[in-house]
Amino acid sequence: MEVIRIDDSAIKRLKRKIIIQENMNLKTRNMTDQQMVSWIKKKIEEEAKCYFNQ
């Protein structure tokens, strides 16, 4: 079975982006909950693609 390595800096960067976006959205209400979920999924997919393309 293949071992999955996790890049800690990518995780920290992703968490920081999500928290900032969530805080901004709580103040402005620009996105619905479902839109926020989609935004978060998109960011996770972007990070995964960058990680696997290295």
Q: What is the pLDDT of residues 6-42, one digit of tens each?
A: 789 989 999 999 999 999 999 999 999 999 999 999 9
Residue 54, pLDDT above cutoff 70 = no
Nearest to 52 by CA among 13, 1, 5: 5
Cβ burial 32-52 (10 Å sphere, 16+ → b, else e): eeeebeebeeeeeeebeeeee
The model's pTM is 0.79
Confidence band, pLDDT 50/70/90 cuts, at residue 52:
confident
Q: Is 16 helix (H, G, I), strand (E, B) or coil?
A: helix
| Distance from C-alpha of 41 to C-alpha of 1, rounded to nearest angstrom | 26
